[in-house]
Amino acid sequence: MSWIDEKAHLELARIREAREKQVYPYFREFETGGLHTTIAGKPVTNFSSNDYLGLTNHPRVKEAAHKAIDKYACGLSSSRVQATTVEHVDLERRLAKFFGFEKCLTFTTGYQAMLGLIAASADKETTLVLDSFSHACILDGTFLAAGVPGRAPEVRFFNHNSAKSLERILKTRERKNALVLVEGVYSLDGDRANLTEFVEICDRYDAVLAVDDAHGTGTLGEHGKGLIEELGLHGRVPILMTAFSKTFGGIGGALLASTEVIEMVQHAARSFLFSASLPVPVVAAVSTILDMLETSGPEMVRELHQKRDYMRGKLLEAGFELGTSTTHIMPVMCRDERKTLFMHVAMLECGVLMVPITYPGVKPGEERLRVNVTRGHTQEDMDTALELLKTYGEAFFVLSGEDIGPMED
C-alpha cells in the first residue's frame, strides 16, 4: 500500500463507522431537481435546499436555459478572457443596476468570486479582517493571499458579529489598508451581520467592507436585494458578493463594486482568469430569475417571510432551539452527534430531508439539522415536517435535552 492509500484509510475511519451503522448522511442521490424530488425511488421534500424563492425549476427558467443551449451549447471551452458573450456582459450590466453598484463581474462559482476579490486586492500593505465564523470561500481566499511570496497580508479575526471586537482589531492592525470580510446572513446559523455598526466602524477606521450576501439575496429587503437593502445601507458598503447557487437558481458568483475595483479584479484574479467562463444556459437562467425579481420581487419575498414566520413560530412553540437564527435559515439544534444523525435518518425514512451538520462543520455540542424554509415549500410540506420533527424530537430526546444514553450496536 502506498502512503497515500494508508493515509486515506486512516482518515476515513469516521466515515466507515458511520456507513457501517447506516447513519452516513451525505451525497444522497437525487433523481430529479427541485424541492420535491426522489431518493432511491422514494419521494422526498428537501428542507436543506438554498433555492430560497423556489424558482430554480420554474418553466420560464428552464425554457431560457434550453434556448441558450441551442445557441451556445453548455460550455465555451475557455475562460472569460477569450470566451465572453453578450449574455455575460448584459447580465453583469443588469445585476449592477439591480444591486445599485457601478459595475459587476460574474464568476463561474461564488467561491471563485470571493477568492478572486481577496487574492487580487490583498498584498503586504493590507490587513484582512475576518469574522470568526467566515465561510470557506473567505477563509480560502485569505489563505491563498497569505501564501503568495512577497505579498502576504496580515490576517486577523474578530469575534463573530462583534462590533467591539472588530473595532479593536482595526485599531491595532499593523498594515495601512484594511479589508473587512463578513457575510450578510450566516449559512449555518441563520443570523444577520451587524452591518449598520460595521459600516460605521469601517468608516471611522478607514477600512473597506466587503459583504458576502449569498444567503441574503432574494430573502431580505423589500425587493430581495439583501441585507444592504433591508438596513437602508445602499451606497455605504463598497463591495458586495453574491452567489447564483441559491436564489438565482444556478451556479456562479457576482462581485459588485466601483468600476475601477471591478476592473482591477477582472485583470488580476486568477480564479477568474484561469477557469472556464460561466456556461450561457446558466447565465440565461440567472437572467430570467433577475427578470422575476425585478417584476415581482416584493411579493415573492413577502411570501417567503410568511412561511419563515409560520415555521419559526411553530418550531419555537414545540420547544425547539434555533440558536441565533433570525432568518429563513433555522437550524434545529440537537447538540449531540448521535441525536442529529438519528433525527436525520428517521425524518428521511418519512420523506423529509434535513441534512445533519456535525463536527467538524460545527463545534462539538453545536450539532444541528439544517432547516431552510423556502417560498417553494407548501403548507403541507411545512406541517408534515413539523409533525415529524416533534415526533422524533421527543423520541431522540432533542426536545427534552436529556442524554440519549448508551445504544446497542
Binding site for ligand PLP (CB under 6 A): 109-111, 114, 135, 137, 183, 187, 212, 214-215, 243, 245, 251, 253
> Residue 47 Cβ, how far from ligand PLP at the closest point, in Å?
16
Pairing verdict, β 177-183 and 126-131: parallel
Spatial neighbors of 160 by CB under 8 A, at least 6 apart, are 131, 132, 133, 186
> Residue 87 Cβ, how far from ligand PLP at the closest point, in Å?
18
Contact 268, 111 (CB under 8 A): no
**How many angstroms separate the CA atoms of 375 and 208, rounded?**
34
**How many angstroms separate the CA atoms of 320 and 142, rounded?**
36
Which residue's CB is nearer to ligand PLP, number 372 or number 386? 372
Which residue's CB is nearer to ligand PLP, number 248 or number 396? 248
> Residue 88 Cβ, how far from ligand PLP at the closest point, in Å?
16
Contact 240, 228 (CB under 8 A): yes
What residue is closest to ligand PLP based on CB?
A: 110
Which residue's CB is nearer to ligand PLP, number 173 or number 215? 215
> Residue 65 Cβ, how far from ligand PLP at the closest point, in Å?
17
- What letter represents residue 240's amino acid? L
Which residue's CB is nearer to ligand PLP, number 114 or number 301? 114
> Residue 253 Cβ, how far from ligand PLP at the closest point, in Å?
5
**How many angstroms separate the CA atoms of 291 and 295, rounded?**
6
- What letter represents residue 46's amino acid? N
> Residue 138 Cβ, how far from ligand PLP at the closest point, in Å?
8
Which residue, 135, 115, 117, 203, is CA-closest to 166?
203
> Residue 186 Cβ, how far from ligand PLP at the closest point, in Å?
8
> Residue 111 Cβ, how far from ligand PLP at the closest point, in Å?
3
3-state secondary structure of 357: strand
> Residue 340 Cβ, how far from ligand PLP at the closest point, in Å?
20
- DSSP letters, 201-240, are HHHHTTEEEEEE-TTTTTTSSTTS--HHHHTT-TTT-SEE
- Dihedral sign from CA coordinates of 247, 250, 368, 210: negative
Which residue's CB is nearer to ligand PLP, number 61 or number 114? 114
Q: Cell 460561466, residue?
A: 278
Which residue's CB is nearer to ligand PLP, number 96 or number 185? 185
Which residue's CB is nearer to ligand PLP, number 184 or number 297? 184
Which residue, 274, 255, 225, is CA-closest to 118?
255
Which residue's CB is nearer to ligand PLP, number 227 or number 251? 251
3-state secondary structure of 77: coil
Which residue's CB is nearer to ligand PLP, number 274 or number 313? 274
Pairing verdict, β 207-212 and 356-357: unpaired
> Residue 187 Cβ, how far from ligand PLP at the closest point, in Å?
4
**How many angstroms separate the CA atoms of 283 and 320, rounded?**
40
**How many angstroms separate the CA atoms of 332 and 316, rounded?**
10
Provide the 8-state DSSP code for 192: B
Which residue's CB is nearer to ligand PLP, number 255 or number 280? 255
Q: Cell 463561474, residue?
A: 108
